[in-house]
Amino acid sequence: MPSGPLRENGRVVLITGATAGLGRHIAGRLATPGTTLLLHGRDPAALHDLGAILKDKGATVHTYRADLASLDEVRDLGRSVRDRHHRIDVLINNAGVGPGAEGAGRESSKDGHELRFAVGYLAPYVFTRLLLPALRCSAAARVINVGSAAQSEIDHDDPEMTASYHGWVAYSRTKLALASFSRDLADELKPYRIAVNCVHPADLMDTALVRDTGLAPQSTVAQGGDAVLALMSQPFTEAGTGGYYNGLERAEPHEDVQDAVKRRRLREMTERLLSGR
């Protein structure tokens, strides 16, 4: 099987959270003749407008509306995409919920899970697994999970943060879980030469997610886009799989991400949450 990236002309790229911020920027840069973009968002009007703009650039565009705070909608989205597209070359799990304003209270998903954990980790966990058959049909598939340098240890006695809550802690635990999932999935998919990597695109990009925290942006979405697109374009032998990237550079994630026992414990907890046990 080829070790280099699939040729740019002809790629099928799926982006979650594509209607704003980093997702929208990446979609715009990938919108070229011959590229098929599968774009997810929550707002049908925003999806329609974005699709029209990118079609004018020559891309083939398919839009999918779903609220990733509902696992039923996540599963419906995965099945719908899989039924319509037998092959996916690049999956960019970009959608997430930021830490929110200082002092904001805990929010729940439609399934009763802590909202940030649900959208930023449980949703891509379920969604990616549903799309594995389509990823395996690619000559050089890539899964890129948009993470963060903010990563903190998960309290397995209170994983949903019902006893004690802080937005930044919830966000950073979600990003640790996503980085851990990236490492496990990479190991699982090595025989198929599917590269799975997690990337912190840039520090405090100028997005609504960052502005909602009250912090001043420190970088642009273009800088973050460079980091994501680099992982798409590098050959398998260069980018590798199971890595964590800080911008354009490979970096070390939180120590828990590198601990096989703690990753197994997280997997077991995840399956319990998804099964309702």
Q: pLDDT tens digit string along 183-203?
A: 999 999 999 989 999 999 999
Q: How confident is the model at residue 4 (pLDDT cuts 50, 70, 90)?
A: very low
pLDDT given at position 214: 84
Q: How far apart are CA 80 and CA 21, in angstroms?
A: 25
Angle among Cα 179, 180, 183 to the nearest 5 degrees reads: 90
pLDDT given at position 151: 97
> Strand, coil or helix: what is 121?
helix
Marked catalytic residue, from 64, 125, 171, 245: 171
Question: CA torsion 89→136→224→203, rounded to 10°?
Answer: 170
For the segment(s) 12-275, the CATH number from 3.30.300.90, 3.30.2320.20, 3.40.50.720, 1.20.120.80 is: 3.40.50.720
Which tokens go with 138?
């690619």
Q: Measure CA 213 to chain center.
A: 20
Count helices and strands in the chain by DSSP H and E runs: 11, 8
Q: What mean pLDDT comes out for the span 78-92?
A: 97
Q: How confident is the model at residue 3 (pLDDT cuts 50, 70, 90)?
A: very low
> Strand, coil or helix: what is 92?
strand
Q: pLDDT tens digit string along 120-172?
A: 999 999 999 999 999 999 988 999 999 999 999 999 999 999 999 999 999 99
Q: Structural domain boundaries of the chain?
A: 12-275
Indicate the average pLDDT of the chain.
Answer: 93
Q: What is the pTM of this model?
A: 0.94
Q: pLDDT tens digit string along 211-263?
A: 888 888 889 999 999 999 999 988 877 778 999 999 999 999 999 999 999 99
> Strand, coil or helix: what is 163?
coil
Contacts of 103 (CB under 8 A, 6+ apart): none
Active site residue 165: no
Q: Is the pLDDT of residue 9 over 80?
A: no
Backbone angles phi, psi at 51, to 5 degrees: -60, -40
Q: Could you tell me which residue, 57 or 216, shows the higher pLDDT?
A: 57
SS3 content of the chain, % helix, strand, coil (to 5): 45, 15, 40
Q: How confident is the model at residue 277 (pLDDT cuts 50, 70, 90)?
A: low
